[in-house]
Amino acid sequence: MQDDSLTLIGPRLKSWREKRSMTLAELSETTGISSSTLSRLEAGKRAPNLELVIPIARALRLELDDIVPRATPDPRVTRTTKHVGKVQFETLSPESSPVQTYKVTFPANPVGVVAVPDPKVHDGHEWLYILSGHLRLVIGEQEVVLGPGEAAEFDTRIPHWLSATGAGPVEMLSIFSKEGKRIHLRASPTTKSDTSAGN
C-alpha cells in the first residue's frame, strides 16, 4: 500500500464513524482503543496499522475494502497486432472484456482481380464500422458495399465473407464475442511489417 493511500484511511474511518452516528468515546469503548489515539488516527497524525484498523472495522461493521482505498487500474489497453493471411487485427479491448474489439485492415485487391467469396459460419454476432475505404460484404444471398461511416451487424451463423472492393485498403472497427475472436484470430502475433502469414 502506498503512503498516499495510508493517509486516506483516517478520514475514511471518521466518515464511516459519523455515518454510523457513533462518537469517539463510543468507538473507544467498543474497540478498547483510546479516544486520543482514534482522534489522531482520524486526523492523519497516527499511522494506521492492522492492530488499529481491524477492531475499528469490526465496530463500524465494515469490510477492509471499505477502508483501504483501492488502486485505480491503468485504463489503457495493451495493443497487439496479428495477421491472418493479409488481414491485420489490432486489439482495442482487454483480454478480459466480454466482447472483443479490433481495428481490422483489409488490403486492397490487385488491379483487375475480383476476389472470389469463400463464406464462413460460426457462433455469435459481429458488428462493424467502416473507418476508411470500401468493404465488400457477402452475407447469405446478399452482397453489399459499405463506405466510411457506415455500419453493419449480423448473425455470424449466416455464411459471410468480407473483403476490400479492390479500390484500396479498408480500415474498420469490429466487435465480436470471444467465440468470434477464436475463429477470426487463428494466426500467431506478428510484427506489423510481416504480412505473409497464411490463413
Rounded average pLDDT over 34-45: 92
Amino acid (1-letter code) at residue 174: S
100 or 24: whose pLDDT is higher? 24
Tell me what the pLDDT averaged over the chain comes to: 84
| Residues 156-184 pLDDT 10s | 899 999 999 977 999 999 997 766 666 66
What is the pLDDT, as a whole number, of residue 196? 34
Cα-Cα-Cα-Cα dihedral of 28, 30, 31, 35, to 10°? 0
What is the pLDDT, as a whole number, of residue 41? 93
DSSP per-residue string spanning the chain: --HHHHHHHHHHHHHHHHHTT--HHHHHHHH---HHHHHHHHTT-S---HHHHHHHHHHTT--HHHHSPPPPPP-PPPP-EEEETTEEEEE-S-TT-SEEEEEEEEPPPPTT--PPP--B--SSEEEEEEEES-EEEEETTEEEEE-TT-EEEEETTS-EEEEE-SSS-EEEEEEEEHHHHHHH--SPB--TT------
Rounded average pLDDT over 44-49: 88
Whole-angstrom Cα distance, residue 162 to residue 89?
A: 14
| Residues 55-113 pLDDT 10s | 999 999 998 778 776 677 788 888 899 998 899 999 999 888 878 899 999 999 887 77
Rounded average pLDDT over 119-145: 92
C-alpha cell at 171: 480500415
Q: How confident is the model at residue 190 (pLDDT cuts 50, 70, 90)?
A: very low
What domains lie within the chain, and their CATH numbers? 3-67 (1.10.260.40), 81-184 (2.60.120.10)
How large is the angle between the packed helices 3-19 and 35-42, nearest 10 degrees? 120
Residue from 11, 12, 37 nearest 24 by CA: 37
